[in-house]
Structure 1
């Protein structure tokens, strides 16, 4: 499998406040990877740097073999990167159907792309509520819509920032099952979340960060054998 995303020695700051210090991250095509760590340790800033929303000061980011750290966010998105942002950020005054169709594209040129019908099959509840406005949905339904909206771009890389934050346990499990299905179909995914035990079952590779630096990287099997490690750095 080929390398899809390579982040090397990334430094990122907000004004005079530096957040990332030599951040490294590597994701192979078809892999599910995670970023783990407590709040405020640099996970979202890493995602923002990858997406071009908070440009890096030093280091390099390669996506599909091309350097992207100096590209605009819209150009990076068109290269085949999609994000399910923290807080979902769906359009409240558009219907479920309109939210999905607004992002329709086949950026990875897949012969069987994500369509409205495929998203409705993945999330039947969205089909049931396809005429409802975004602000009429529950938190779980909004997260389903945010995932479906990202999939409608047919991305090479799907990023989920705080994938199940604030969701009820049953809805959270539904989101995990969705991600498991996507993995089975070969979708490359980067997940930020705090439920380490569930992520160990889902993901291939994990990176734990503290104060803007990677303190541990490794596969699920190794992380599962070291609960003291993730309890120390994630604390859940």
Structure 2
């Protein structure tokens, strides 16, 4: 088990947002967290990464309880995030982004990610390796954010709205990249809104509504019940 969340409660100060959230991710799985805006998805990520305190419940990552760990310690243990908004550094080149964050946080990886492997995955980044982070298009920044996370060789890769604001062609490139990562056994947690595409990619789906898990199941179950889409996803 890579990630196990038990009865998680969290929020901002006196305002509680998550109410008894349970979820688990096995090694090699691709899992999604779905739900409309404001239902607790971002709060869940911030809590998993130690940016928000856990009020109640437990979080286990790679077999260790991480309730009181700092964000830095959680990252060094092998959890990596591709954040919403990409957050590429304007004063670093593409190549510097990929070399500065190289680490080997998953000893079970048979073929570690390197800057060269990222260039193979995203040839466009090779062409722009000397460009600064703020000289890239939105799609190129998203590729760089994914590559930056991959070179840490994470046990768990988390993508927060990775396809948000991208042109359809570029969005499909990102999905194809995730297909490759899944085939290579990378464990992934995805927060996104493109349900139909996620059903082709993910093993398991979790729907959050008002900070609670209201449904979970596989892609066949999600596809077979369109009322779920209308009730909880606004699709």
Instruction: Please tell me the TM-score bracket, short chain as reference.
Output: over 0.9
Distance in 1, Cα, partners of 2:153 & 2:63: 19
Distance in 2, Cα, partners of 1:205 & 1:25: 10
Matched with 1:13 is: 11
Distance in 2, Cα, partners of 1:73 & 1:174: 30
Question: When the two structures are aligned, how many residues end up with a matched partner?
Answer: 234
Distance in 2, Cα, partners of 1:93 & 1:16: 38
> Which aligned pairs between 1:62-211 and structure 2 lie closer than 5 A?
62-109=60-107, 110-211=109-210
Q: Which of 30, 33, 36 in structure 2 is aligned with 1:35? A: 33
Distance in 2, Cα, partners of 1:228 & 1:95: 46
Distance in 2, Cα, partners of 1:212 & 1:90: 30
Distance in 1, Cα, partners of 2:89 & 2:77: 23
Deviation at 1:93, TM superposition (A): 1.2
Please identify runs of 4+ aligned residues in structure 1 that moved more than 3 A: none
Deviation at 1:232, TM superposition (A): 1.8
Deviation at 1:97, TM superposition (A): 0.4
CA deviation profile, 1:16-35 (whole Å, cap 9, x unmatched): 11110111111110000000
Distance in 2, Cα, partners of 1:163 & 1:204: 18
Deviation at 1:230, TM superposition (A): 2.0
Deviation at 1:111, TM superposition (A): 3.3
Distance in 2, Cα, partners of 1:209 & 1:141: 30
Deviation at 1:115, TM superposition (A): 0.4
Q: TM-score, normalised by structure 1?
A: 0.98
Task: Say what the alpha-carbon RMSD is for the aligned residues.
Answer: 0.7
Deviation at 1:231, TM superposition (A): 2.6
* 3-state SS in 1 of match to 2:84: coil
Structure 1, gaps ≥5 residues long: none
* 3-state SS in 2 of match to 1:57: strand
* 3-state SS in 2 of match to 1:208: strand
CA deviation profile, 1:48-100 (whole Å, cap 9, x unmatched): 11111112111000011110011111111111000000111111111000011
